[in-house]
Every structure is written in structure tokens, then in C-alpha cells.
Structure 1
Amino acid sequence: MKRRMMPMVVALGLALAACGETEAESKGAAEAPHAEEKHQGEGASDAEEAVRPESRLAITHDGGITVLRAGDGEVVGEIELDGFLRLNQAGDGRHALVTTGKGFEVLDLGAWTQAHGDHGHSYTAEPRMTGTVFPAELAGHAVVHADRTVLFADGTGEITAFDPHHLADGEVETTEFATEHAHHGVALIRADGALVATDGTTDERSSVTVRAVDGEEIARYDDCPGVHGEAVAGETVAFGCEDGVLLLKGDEFTKVDAPGDYARIGNLAGSDDSPVLLGDYKVDPDAELERPTRVTLIDTETEKLRLVDLGASYSFRSLGRGAGGEALVLGTDGGLRVIDPATGKIDRTVKVTAPWREPSDWQQPRPTLRVVGEIAWVSEPKSKQVHAVDVVGGRVVASWDLPQVPNELLGVTG
């Protein structure tokens, strides 16, 4: 019987990994910092108590990462890193995962709150790379779900999972899995411990599998061509296909077909406050770069798909969800559209940036949307700014100048 996915469980304490390991013991582990660089846990050595939580933004640029205090735009940290950098939520509201040539490196944004019963204590510290690295060949998707962060290495098909709430301690236990073939994939672990992951090769991928904690395959679906992207609505997990969206409820798969023979929905955005998912929508299989003007709304309860015409194109970094479940899309006309996910109506369009055009190289800077708390943040490379948008109020409430041309963007509420 052909093996599709086999779990390899490894418990590794990062603080103990700096010395005295054999090669077999350290293989696949997150690399630990040297002793003098060791992360100081919840109480970083330069931590100061703050009056209130402090939101911060991490913004990549050519040559590194700039960290801003979101409240006033002050630069609180500059980190030098070479190469193309991507930013992913780590899952604990404090750290970010930076994809580099090494894999997933951990960035501490230096703002966090410790809960103490009915209140909390907030702290700030200097942003820093902690020295922790989760090695991955061609680091790809990072998914946070059910208190687990799951990383996918496209170059090997390997999957690494961990509890992100131990990142500040300097010790992280990882669970590892191996897919049969390397591919551009994505995976998550459900609350019941089951692993949900794509399956395919570098040439073709169309399958999603569900594996029990012991590694046994309990469900499989093989007709989701070009499977890409993932989102969750309630207990439903969704994956984009080139002809619709695949929904997983429990261990049962359901395909929601899109109109036409080809309709690629490769990027999805979910919300805890809505059963409706937001997705992109491309219809030209031969386009080198299609600039779509419609998005999809997928109701996971009714299993129906709705198209919404925006009147402007957008990019893969244009989709987001508001704090109340609003579907947000940043158009190339500079307008942030706020869409009612239940009706598909565009409630308002907030003018945020100057008109822009999506570059042909996906790694090149373009306006990017990220939601942090109740604020939608939009970067604008042309003006070297980042803008704060009050989604409910429908207006730009702040704009901060940046020292570098921004590329990717991520924030924490502190």
C-alpha cells in the first residue's frame, strides 16, 4: 500500500539544543540561538511595562524589516536581513515568522500582554530576531489554527507543527510530518488533532487528505485541481481549486463548483464572525498575469458561491476581513471596498492610495492590506507610507511615512 502521509513526532527543547546534540537528535529541529543570543522568554532583558497594549507593525523592504509603533508611526526597530522576505503570523500575538533562505525565522516584535485573571500587564521591548529558526527548504505557507502553527516546506513536502505560545520561552516542541512528494502545499491541525494537508507533486496537485493522530488516513479528496490556499469558517476548512472551492466539514468533503470550466480561486480569507469566505476569482488559464475584477463569496453553510464585481482589479495581497467579519478588498484604483459577506453588497469604498498597477513579478512591492484589531492597514510603496483605515467609520485615520519602500506587512495588537 502506497504511503501518502506519515507522522514523525519529535519533541525538542530549543533551549537545550545549543550544544551536546548528535546529528540525529538535531535533525529537523528548530535551530537554537547561541547562549548570548538566547531569547529571554516573557520577560525580555530590556522589557518595560507599558500603560496599555502597544500595537506594532513589521514591514519588509529591500535589505530588512522596519518595526513601527502603530499609534504614532515611530520606528522602534530596524533589522537587517538579505533576500526576499515574507511575513507570517506566528500565532501568539507577539511574534512573526519571517521566511528566508534558512526557513522560518522568528521575529519578536517586542510588544505583548500577560493575562492575570481579570486584567493584564503590557510590556514593550526592542524588536529582535530571536535566533530561533524552523528549517525548511523553500519555506511556504504558515497556518495558525486551534492553537497550533503549521509550516509547509515546498522543497521537500515536510510539515512542522508547534504550539506558538512557547515561542517566548525559547523552547518549542515540534511535531513533524512528511508528504510523499515535494509540492507547493498547505496544512493545518484541527482541534481534534487531525492533520489536514494537500497532496501532490511539483507538476500537479489536486488532493487533500485528513489523517488521524496515529497517521491513519481517514478521508481523502482527489478532484481539486491546482489546490491552493486555505481558510476556516467555524468548523469548516476550505481549499481553493481551479474550478471552485473544496469544503471539509468533519471528515466529509463537499465541492462548491464555480461557473465555467476554469475558475481559479487560489486565495481565501476567513473570519470567526462569518460563515462566508472571501476568495479571489481568475478565469483565464493562459494568462501570464491575470488582473481580475471580481471576487467570490463562499457561504459554507448553504454551500453556495456568489460573484461580486468590484469595478477595479486587485492582487493576491488585497484580500482581508474586518473585525466584524466584513469582506475587504483593496482595488488598484486605490479604494478599499467594504463588502457585506451575507449579501455581497459593497457598503462603502474608502479612498486610501493613489491608483496602482499590479507588477508582473509577484515578489515586487505593491499596496498590501493587513487587518490588526479593528484597523485595516494599507501599505503604499509609491509614497513610502502606511495608512490606517477605520473600517466601520469608513475613513483613513492616520498615515505614517516610512524610511524604505514597503513590501510585505504584518501587525500585532500588543
Structure 2
Amino acid sequence: MRFRVAAASGILLLSLAGCAAPAAPSTTEPTSEGDGHGHIEGAQELAEPALHLTTVDEKGSVHHLDLLDEEDSVLADIDPVEEVVSDGRYLFGIRDGSVTVIDSGVWTWSHIDHFHYYEAPARVIGDVSGNGTPAVVTGEVGVGVRFDDEAVLLDTAALADGRIEETFRIAAEGDGVVVPLTSGAVLTDAGAGAEQPGTVRVVGNDGTASEELPCASASGTITTVVGVVIGCADGALLFAGGAPEAHERIPYPQATAPAATSFAAREGRPSVAALAGETGVWILDTRERAWTLVDVGEPLVHVAAVDDAEGRVLALTADGAVIVLAGGAVVSRTEPLVSASLADDEVAPHVRFVVDQNRAYLNGPLEQTMWEIDPADGARLSRVFETASTPLHLAGTGR
């Protein structure tokens, strides 16, 4: 991988907030931190997060770019995938008939008021198989995998031990996803065989349904610092704290815009963003239980919420430029960056943002380039990474 530096500015990394325990350990020696700090055997605790960009090319080569020293390494070679989903540590390579689970070996453990950062050897954990091309949804304690005729919930704790352990695998019909909660999950395919149409099913760890909740045309899900969100035709269903019993509705305001079907945001924040038709953006503040609709006035293809204080949202325009919204207005814009990728119908869906506390990243598969963007500084391109292969699928790891 070759690098072209667009400005003399490295990435600003999160500082390690202190615990009531002793000072942060060396970054070269394994720690013996007990349970509750995210430590596993063989991991070492770091003084700062080991932030990486992980990409998978069209051949299945998984590359790991260290954003601190800009070193690129091949993490693994797997069978080609159609999509990649990540929770900031694990990568799920999706293809017809299976999901390959990869441990990136870098992660952050949140203690709400401070964080712990770890690094361990990366590894391919294994595959989860089923019929059809699955949909994958990550959660704090589980990972939902939805095949054509089965719903599967994986145990995240087992993944840390290098094992694939299924909490449940049950028959399921229709299109939908498995959304993990703190216990059990929500199945959004309840229209097939449900007692009431336009509902979702809450199931326990054994896969047994406990209740059905109204949510017509369920589509899109994301986890915020407040809870788990599922998009519905008339608003959002929020499970506060991810608890199965703590569900409430956040209805749309009186607005004439299409419903949100996919959410994106910086991890660990309350606000998320979604497209609202061709030119609009929905912003959902899960802490305030409120929606805001912004009409940008030009076609958009992707959006992601960045921060709370300034209300910044990144948007990718149909011509491949990145714009920054704040307070409902466009405050900065780049030149078109990914025009070629967006012009290719097969490649365009894979162009996406990865958002950190201080930077955002955009991949251009056909441009064979990734950009580091500073949303708070006029969408400045702080670094540009040129790749030898096609960065078709992009994920952020170490978060």
C-alpha cells in the first residue's frame, strides 16, 4: 500500500482515561487485568487504541492498515465475499451459504467513563453455514445471522475464545434480520407466521418467542449508547440499554419524507443518521427520543452522524463529493472523490464512511484509494492512502 499525505497532520487518537487502578501498563507487556476490563489470555493492554482500517478486496484478501504507523499487513486470505460487517473487533465476511468470522486482534473495552485498549494476534475463527446469502447484525453480547430459512444467534464471548458457539438456531421464514439484545434477540421477519402482521418478535436465548411488537416494514438497525434501534414505517423501535423488556416507540414527526431504512453513526454516540429519500437526511437522537429532517437539496447516496455537540453529519453526494452538515446546513464540501466507484452499480453499494472521534474515512474501490477526512476542519483531506488492491469492503477496527 502506498500513501500520499495531503496535509501534515496525523490522526488524533483517543487518550486513555485513567482508572482507579495503577497507571496504564506498558504497550509491550501482557497485562493481567481481571474480568470486566475486556482482557483475554494472550492480549496486551495498550496506552491508546490500535485503530486500523480493515479492507477486503474482490479476491478475499483481508488487509489491515495501522492508522498510527501507516503499516499495511495481510490479516488473512478468505474466499471472496459479497459484504463485510464489523463491530469494531470482529469481521464477518458474508457470501452465499456462509459467513467467515475473523478476529482483527484489536479492540476497545468501554467502562462508560473511560476505556481500555487491547491487542492480540489476529485469526480466522471459522465459518457459520446456512442456505442463501445471510444478513449479519452485531451486538454487545451476541451476533445475529439470518439465512433464508434459519435465524442464528452467536455468542460474542465465545468468539473471544476463538470458538463459534450458537446460542440458538431456529427455523425462520421471510426476509429479515436477527437483532441481538442483552438477552435473546429481535426477529424482524415476523410477518411470516406471526400472529399479527407488521410486527417483530422478541425471542429469548433459547429462541422461544416472548412477545410481538408493532413495527411495520421493519428495516435498518443500529446500536447507540442509549440502546438498540430498529427502523419501522412510522418511526423507530428503541430497546433502552438493549434490554428486551425496555422497548418504546419514537414516532416520526409530521413530515412527508420516506422512512429510514439504514442507519450509520460514530460508535457510542446517541445520534444516528439515515437517508430520507433522494435528497433528505433523517437524524435520530435516541437520548432525546426525537427525529430531525434535513433537506440538502441534492441527491445523496450515504450519510453518517459524526458528533453531538455540533450535530455534524457526513454525506456522500451522487457525484462522489463529501459534504459536512451542521445545524441543518452544508458547511463544507470536498471535490468529487469517488465518482468512478459510484458510477458502477456493483461497486457503488460498497462505498461507505467509517467514523472515529476525530476523523472519518471513505473508500474508493475503483479509485484504489482511501481518504482520511477531518469533518471539523472544512472536510479537509488529512491523509490519502493509495492501495495496490481494490478496497471493496471497508471496516474500522480497534474501536
TM-score by length of 2: 0.71
Secondary structure of the 1:265 match is coil
Counterpart amino acid of residue 141 in structure 2: R
1:22-101 → structure 2 map (5 Å cutoff): 42-43=41-42, 53-64=49-60, 65-77=62-74, 79-89=76-86, 91=87, 93-101=88-96
Cα deviations by residue, 1:289-323 (Å, 9 ceiling, x for unpaired): xxx222212344665543222344333xx232325
Counterpart amino acid of residue 148 in structure 1: V
Counterpart amino acid of residue 368 in structure 1: R
Shift of 1:268: 1.5
Report whether the alignment pairs 1:196 with 2:186.
Answer: yes
Q: Is the 8 A contact 1:368 1:379 kept in 2?
A: yes
Q: Is the 8 A contact 2:306 2:312 kept in 1?
A: yes
Shift of 1:406: 1.9
| 1:37 matched residue in structure 2 | none
Secondary structure of the 1:298 match is strand
Shift of 1:49: 8.9
| 1:410 matched residue in structure 2 | 395
Cα deviations by residue, 1:184-209 (Å, 9 ceiling, x for unpaired): 324221x3x25322124689984223
Alpha-carbon spacing, 1:212–1:327, altered in 2? closer, same or farther (3 Å): same
| 1:151 matched residue in structure 2 | 144
| 2:154 matched residue in structure 1 | 161
Secondary structure of the 1:358 match is helix
Q: Is the 8 A contact 1:60 1:85 kept in 2?
A: no
Shift of 1:410: 0.4
Q: Is the 8 A contact 2:94 2:133 kept in 1?
A: yes
Alpha-carbon spacing, 1:382–1:306, altered in 2? closer, same or farther (3 Å): same
Query: How many residues were matched structurally?
Result: 345
Q: Is the 8 A contact 1:364 1:407 kept in 2?
A: no
| 1:319 matched residue in structure 2 | 303
Report whether the alignment pairs 1:281 with 2:276.
Answer: yes
Distance 1:49 1:238 in 2: 31
1:179-258 → structure 2 map (5 Å cutoff): 180-189=172-181, 191=182, 193=183, 195-200=185-190, 206-211=198-203, 215-221=208-214, 224-225=216-217, 227-241=218-232, 243-248=233-238, 250-253=246-249, 255-256=251-252
Secondary structure of the 1:269 match is coil
Secondary structure of the 1:280 match is strand
Distance 1:385 1:161 in 2: 34
Secondary structure of the 1:297 match is strand
Shift of 1:157: 3.5
- Identical-residue share of aligned pairs (%): 20
Alpha-carbon spacing, 1:154–1:302, altered in 2? closer, same or farther (3 Å): same
Shift of 1:326: 3.5
Distance 1:141 1:134 in 2: 12
| 1:16 matched residue in structure 2 | none
1:293-372 → structure 2 map (5 Å cutoff): 293-300=279-286, 304-315=290-301, 318-322=302-306, 324=308, 326-340=312-326, 343-351=327-335, 353-355=337-339, 358-359=342-343, 361-362=345-346, 367-372=351-356
Shift of 1:112: 5.0
| 1:381 matched residue in structure 2 | 365
Secondary structure of the 2:79 match is coil
Report whether the alignment pairs 1:171 with 2:171.
Answer: no
Distance 1:372 1:229 in 2: 21
* Deviation >6 Å, runs of 4+: 48-51, 118-121, 202-205
Distance 1:258 1:102 in 2: 42
Secondary structure of the 1:399 match is strand
More moved, 293-302 vs 57-66 = 293-302
Alpha-carbon spacing, 1:176–1:63, altered in 2? closer, same or farther (3 Å): same
Report whether the alignment pairs 1:141 with 2:135.
Answer: yes
Secondary structure of the 1:167 match is helix
Alpha-carbon spacing, 1:345–1:56, altered in 2? closer, same or farther (3 Å): same
Alpha-carbon spacing, 1:411–1:248, altered in 2? closer, same or farther (3 Å): closer
5+ residue gaps, structure 1: 1-40, 283-291
Query: How big is the alpha-carbon RMSD for the aligned residues of Structure 1 and Structure 2?
Result: 3.8
Secondary structure of the 2:189 match is strand
Counterpart amino acid of residue 367 in structure 1: V
Q: Is the 8 A contact 2:369 2:386 kept in 1?
A: yes
| 1:108 matched residue in structure 2 | 103
Alpha-carbon spacing, 1:207–1:216, altered in 2? closer, same or farther (3 Å): closer
TM-score by length of 1: 0.69
Shift of 1:385: 0.8
Distance 1:357 1:244 in 2: 33
Shift of 1:254: 5.0
Distance 1:389 1:405 in 2: 20
Distance 2:224 2:184 in 1: 17
Counterpart amino acid of residue 335 in structure 1: A
Q: Is the 8 A contact 2:167 2:205 kept in 1?
A: no
Secondary structure of the 2:160 match is helix
Cα deviations by residue, 1:27-68 (Å, 9 ceiling, x for unpaired): xxxxxxxxxxxxxx7438xxx997854322211221012222
Q: Is the 8 A contact 1:314 1:358 kept in 2?
A: no
Distance 1:104 1:86 in 2: 10
Alpha-carbon spacing, 1:362–1:310, altered in 2? closer, same or farther (3 Å): farther
Shift of 1:229: 0.7
Cα deviations by residue, 1:7-40 (Å, 9 ceiling, x for unpaired): xxxxxxxxxxxxxxxxxxxxxxxxxxxxxxxxxx
Q: Is the 8 A contact 1:336 1:352 kept in 2?
A: yes
Distance 1:273 1:372 in 2: 10
Alpha-carbon spacing, 1:293–1:202, altered in 2? closer, same or farther (3 Å): farther
Q: Is the 8 A contact 2:95 2:134 kept in 1?
A: no
Secondary structure of the 2:163 match is coil
Alpha-carbon spacing, 1:236–1:166, altered in 2? closer, same or farther (3 Å): closer
